[in-house]
Amino acid sequence: MHIRTILNLSIIGSAIGLSLPESSSTRRETLNEAAHNARVLIKEVKTGTMASVYPDTSDLAGRPFAMMEYHAPCYSNGSLALILMPISRSTQNIFQDPGHHIAYTVNMPTEGVRSPMSRGRVALMGNVTTLRDISSEEQTRLSKCYTKHHPDAQYWLPGTPDSPHFSLWARLDIDSIYYVGGFGDTHYIGSIPVDLYAKSEKKVQKGYESASTDNEEEGTLREVWEDDLDMDLNQIVF
């Protein structure tokens, strides 16, 4: 691996709390380190790519669809809080999938790195559950957690007055994880057991400092979306 790439990885990885191998000549990233690093990556990187599949009723039936989405790490077991909008193609695919399955990928930033392929990334596979009958306390907790990571989302939180679209709280429960820490000579590549990933929470919280939002300007809604999808939301039951 190029020396400059190693230096960049060390600087950026240390900045967000990743556990990096000491050097390419000593050892590779271990499975336990990979589980820890995957949790840190999900906490520190604010967006990911949600992949779903077009339903059988579509002209594109069976084809994958992927789009950038927000997530928030609001659950100690590694599940993710999501906001679904019925106007979204991803949401429509989820609603029409009997298992409500998606894959959600998150990557380390690649800016200024000689080889983006050397950066860590993780794919979380699982099913999505809409949270329709949550208590006011849980609603408040989710809103506080989500806007901590995405201040601009205050404008479209579920139940927000004057929100441009109807939205729902949802939770991604993970049943499979695939992780690529970087190049295989120094980093772990492969599956991570879900129970190990969940148990890594204590280690993450001990050594993890939440990314500051002090310098982030309050988000503004800059575009007017089209009318909501014409569908009976009362018929959507997960």
Residues 6+ apart with CB under 8 A from 16: 40, 41, 44, 108, 211
Cα–Cα separations (whole angstroms), residue 7 to 13, 27, 37, 112, 113: 10, 17, 18, 11, 10
Write out the chain's pLDDT in tens, 238 residues.
444 444 444 445 545 556 655 444 557 899 999 999 999 999 999 999 999 999 999 999 999 999 999 999 999 999 999 999 999 999 999 999 999 999 999 999 888 888 988 899 999 999 999 999 899 999 999 999 999 999 999 999 999 888 889 999 999 999 999 999 999 889 999 999 999 999 986 554 433 333 322 332 322 222 222 233 334 444 444 3
61-113 residue pLDDT tens: 999 999 999 999 999 999 999 999 999 999 999 999 999 999 999 999 888 88
**Cβ(131)–Cβ(170) under 8 Å?**
yes
Tokens 């990933």 belong to residue = 197
Euclidean distance between CA atoms 159 and 149, whole angstroms? 19
Q: Is the dihedral of CA 41, 44, 45, 50 positive or negative?
A: positive
Best CATH choice for the domain 3-207 from the list 3.30.930.10, 2.30.110.10, 1.10.40.30, 1.10.490.10: 2.30.110.10
Q: Note the pTM of the prediction, 2 decimals.
A: 0.76
Tokens 């009318």 belong to residue = 227
Sequence ranges of the domains in the chain: 3-207
Residues 6+ apart with CB under 8 A from 110: 116, 119
